[in-house]
Structure 1
Amino acid sequence: MTTNFRTRKSTLGLLYILHSSANVERTCPLTRESRMVLTMLLLAGAGGATFIAAAPFVLGAAGFTAAGIAAGSVAAKMMGAAAVANGGGVAAGGVVAILQSAGAAGLSAAANAAVGVGGAALGALIAL
């Protein structure tokens, strides 16, 4: 296979663009600290959004469903442990009760905010 001048020129141009974009230190007008803050903010936002979107799926997978606690699930084991610890019943306002409420009715605005803050904090920690 022979390559003509035009093909070689476009290949060299593409390699130059890739090399230039990979060398951000030289071409980016932002300081290193500014890039670090920007990266932290982006990862914090992504972490918060991911946690908010994933929370209903995680609750369902753990066994906190709209129909109640799924038999044989992590939620059932938590409920059993809470019942033993409380003398046979699950305390209202306890962790199991709150998670079951969230699994059945969804997360409230305050709960979404708390989950988002947790995800944002984890995203910011990953950036460090």
Structure 2
Amino acid sequence: MTELIKGSLILAGAIFMFLAALGVVRLPDLLTRMHATTKAATLGATLIMLAVALHFGQVAVVARAFGVILFIMMTAPVAAHVIGRAGYFVGSRLWSGTVKDELKPNYDPLTHRLKSHLETEANAARPPRDPEDAP
């Protein structure tokens, strides 16, 4: 029975890893590729590491497998975010079918700074300055 479970976990993990690779090849722009690889590859690696933990069944191996899973789950989304943000900042073109670009109104391409959501709300709530009040 455990052989069937291990085999299923490995097969499912390999399928998700294949889908991640397929996403890199087939998807149209950097941001959608990053989304596909992060989600699918993280799940694929997690399933394979669960199969490893089941196969060996020793406390040390299971602890290491869960450590690897935790490490991947913590670092993969952060790495994908940083790579996607860097790609956006250097001008990687978005897919022509992109409906909404939420960074565009908050990003200054000259200074490479993003306005935070709180800054945007504060500026919207602030009344306009009267030029006569300027020092």
When the two structures are superposed, what TM-score results if normalisation uses the length of structure 1?
0.29
Larger radius of gyration: 1
Higher relative contact order (CA 8 A, sep 6+): 1
